């Protein structure tokens, strides 16, 4: 491990950030995992802890119109480097997902605030609201609002499982969706966005690495497939006369996996339901979801074309038909070359390699990359697990990730204008 420059290393303490993370877990989590579901009292408690820490620093703290919390440290220029992630978690979630980036950003902020002189550029830490979308099924809420990709007319209609409407719940937290657009002004003067996050997958662990350079986020194509055959009595309809929609779906699911493997992307059938859906009936209709991801747009388009073809062939082989309903689509995002190169340098300085991987998951960085130069640092995830209380990362990997993140951010804040 190469030493980082001494003037900043004296201030920046990765183990203080890890202590903050453990305190946060103690206050808003427990044996069943984290409970920082957005727009709840426990999420507000996590925010309160962050505000306590920020209150000791020479920063301006503001909640924007979409519920994102910003802490500003003025620099010698209005140009602003933003770091951030999210304190909200899925129910029974992990202690690091999102929180690592916020507490890591807080520690960077402390180190910059401890300097005798203001930094060259201004600096901001942001805690994005509702990255997970676990309550109202709209993820990347706060970052999408700031970037301007959140459709207010769609979210106006969203309800949680208890039937509570999103507009009323958000109003309790000071967010009024008709005024939300105002948060887009936060992008003014932002020249860079950096985020530290756990990988939430097994690639770094599999490579024997603690940290990695994120090259961008993958493109995603999500569809619902409805296979239609003929419902029939399980006892009276002979096998050769059946039009079994579940068998058609089964053929598709297996071929979809081969498509993902062939293109070195990922493809998933995550949910299936049958109608009539009883033990004594041949399923007349089987509905499933498909999620496919690739870092390359052309490869993703080829995978999607092959999947549509596979669905048609699977249906035809069982005397069924199939139709697709579009759910979600996002193109691959390649991160900013200058920022990614700084992250490569930082990862090499800390762990001695420049290993790069795309992010298979969406992050607030996926939204920010649409608008400003963006980059990310990953730490490993034990067993690739996330969104579960078992989510964890070796402490030395956390410390390395924090150090590399700090180096890349400081290099960006201090870079010659």
Which residues make up the interface to a copy of itself (CB under 8 A)? 199-203, 206, 218, 220, 222, 231-241, 244, 246-247, 249-251, 253-254, 257, 260-261, 264, 266-274, 276-283, 286, 289-291, 293, 327, 359-362, 384-388
62 vs 261, beta carbon nearer a copy of itself: 261
Quote the CA–CA distance of 95 and 104 in Å, as a whole number: 13
Q: Which two tokens stand for residue 174?
A: 């000071």
3 vs 235, beta carbon nearer a copy of itself: 235
30 vs 277, beta carbon nearer a copy of itself: 277
| Closest distance to a copy of itself from the beta carbon of 235 (Å) | 3
264 vs 338, beta carbon nearer a copy of itself: 264
222 vs 354, beta carbon nearer a copy of itself: 222
| Closest distance to a copy of itself from the beta carbon of 241 (Å) | 6
Quote the CA–CA distance of 343 and 99 in Å, as a whole number: 20
CB 371 within 8 A of CB 302: no
| Closest distance to a copy of itself from the beta carbon of 3 (Å) | 32
249 vs 410, beta carbon nearer a copy of itself: 249
CA neighbor of 196 nearest in space, from 49, 347, 90: 347
| Closest distance to a copy of itself from the beta carbon of 164 (Å) | 20
31 vs 238, beta carbon nearer a copy of itself: 238
187 vs 203, beta carbon nearer a copy of itself: 203
Q: Which two tokens stand for residue 368?
A: 């920010």
| Closest distance to a copy of itself from the beta carbon of 44 (Å) | 26
| Closest distance to a copy of itself from the beta carbon of 97 (Å) | 10
| Closest distance to a copy of itself from the beta carbon of 127 (Å) | 22
109 vs 330, beta carbon nearer a copy of itself: 330
């Amino acid at each position: 491990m190469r030493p980082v420059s001494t003037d900043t290393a004296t201030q920046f303490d990765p183990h203080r950030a890890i202590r903050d993370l453990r305190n946060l877990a103690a206050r808003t989590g427990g044996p069943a995992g984290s409970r920082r579901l957005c727009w709840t009292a426990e999420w507000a408690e996590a925010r309160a802890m962050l505000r306590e820490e920020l209150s000791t620093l020479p920063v301006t703290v503001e909640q924007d119109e979409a519920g994102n919390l910003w802490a500003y440290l003025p620099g010698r220029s209005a140009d602003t480097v933003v770091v951030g992630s999210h304190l909200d978690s899925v129910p029974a979630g992990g202690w690091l997902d999102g929180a690592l980036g916020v507490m890591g950003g807080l520690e960077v902020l402390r180190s910059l605030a401890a300097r005798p002189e203001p930094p060259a550029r201004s600096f901001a830490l942001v805690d994005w609201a509702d990255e997970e979308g676990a309550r109202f099924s709209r993820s990347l809420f706060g970052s999408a609002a700031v970037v301007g990709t959140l459709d207010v007319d769609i979210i106006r209609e969203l309800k949680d499982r208890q039937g509570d409407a999103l507009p009323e719940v958000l109003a309790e937290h000071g967010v009024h969706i008709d005024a939300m657009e105002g948060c887009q002004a936060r992008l003014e003067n932002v020249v860079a966005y950096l985020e530290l996050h756990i990988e939430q997958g097994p690639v770094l662990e599999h490579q024997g690495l603690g940290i990695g350079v994120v090259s961008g986020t993958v493109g995603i194509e999500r569809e619902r497939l409805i296979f239609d055959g003929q419902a029939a009595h399980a006892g009276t309809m002979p096998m050769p006369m059946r039009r079994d929609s579940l068998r058609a779906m089964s053929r598709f699911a297996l071929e979809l996996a081969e498509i993902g493997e062939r293109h070195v992307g990922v493809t998933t059938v995550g949910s299936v339901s049958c109608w009539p859906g009883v033990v004594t009936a041949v399923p007349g209709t089987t509905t499933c979801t498909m999620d496919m991801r690739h870092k390359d747009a052309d490869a993703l388009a080829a995978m999607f074309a092959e999947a549509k073809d596979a669905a048609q062939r699977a249906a035809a082989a069982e005397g069924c038909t199939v139709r697709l309903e579009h759910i979600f689509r996002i193109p691959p995002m390649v991160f900013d070359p200058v920022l990614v190169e700084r992250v490569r340098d930082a990862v090499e300085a800390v762990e001695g390699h420049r290993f790069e991987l795309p992010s298979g998951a969406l992050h607030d960085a996926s939204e920010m990359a649409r608008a400003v130069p963006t980059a990310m640092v990953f730490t490993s995830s034990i067993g690739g697990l996330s969104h579960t209380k078992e989510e964890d990362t070796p402490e030395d990997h956390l410390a390395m990730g924090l150090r590399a993140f700090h180096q890349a951010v400081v290099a960006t804040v201090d870079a010659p204008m």
